[in-house]
Amino acid sequence: MKNKKIGKLTVIKKAKSQNGKIMWLCQCECGYQKVASTFELEFGKVVSCGRCHKNGKIENRTINQGQKIGSVLTQKKYSSTEWICLCDCGKRTILKTRKLLKKENSNCGCMDISRISRRQGINEFKIKRFEE
């Protein structure tokens, strides 16, 4: 089992047994360690340390000041879970870290507005054409 890769975990060494179960110390890709049983590892019950998402790290990625994500540039940390960002359209906005990491809503909303106005333009065109 030693040095075996399971999900984001790499088995380092045998740990102290718990309730008669063989336990293993594993190193996660994000840097944290996790102790898991042979059963949990072999049957895919445990594939990461479980802390990756809680600490704003997804797939070993973090956000840094000055980083370009989608249509925004991160300027400064606003809170433990939010960033002040500058959108390509020039507007400043506050976005959640988890949404930036997942690249969800990585704009100030201007893209949504332009999509809506394009749809409305198409609908207005259809209405005018139908009336003719």
Instruction: Taking residues 54-76, report their average pLDDT.
Output: 73
Question: Hey, what are 36's tokens?
Answer: 């898991």
> Which backbone phi and psi does 70 adopt, to 5 degrees?
60, -120
pLDDT at 38: 94
Smallest CA-to-CA distance from 107 within 73, 77, 76 is with 73
Lowest mean pLDDT among 22-26, 69-73, 97-101: 97-101
Would you tell me how many other CB atoms lie within 10 Å of the CB of residue 20?
5
**52/32 Cα distance (integer angstroms):** 8
Instruction: Taking residues 119-132, report their average pLDDT.
Output: 45
Query: Given pLDDT bands bounded at 50, 70 and 90, which one contains residue 132?
Result: very low
Question: Hey, what are 35's tokens?
Answer: 């102790």
**pLDDT surpassing 50 at residue 126:** no
Q: Are strands 72-79 and 9-18 parallel, antiparallel or unpaired?
A: unpaired
Lowest mean pLDDT among 6-10, 111-115, 116-120, 128-132: 128-132
Q: Which of the pair, 80 or 56, is modelled with greater confidence?
A: 80
pLDDT at 128: 42
Instruction: Tell me the pTM.
Output: 0.42
Tens of pLDDT, residue by residue over 16-47, are 999 999 999 999 887 788 999 999 999 888 88
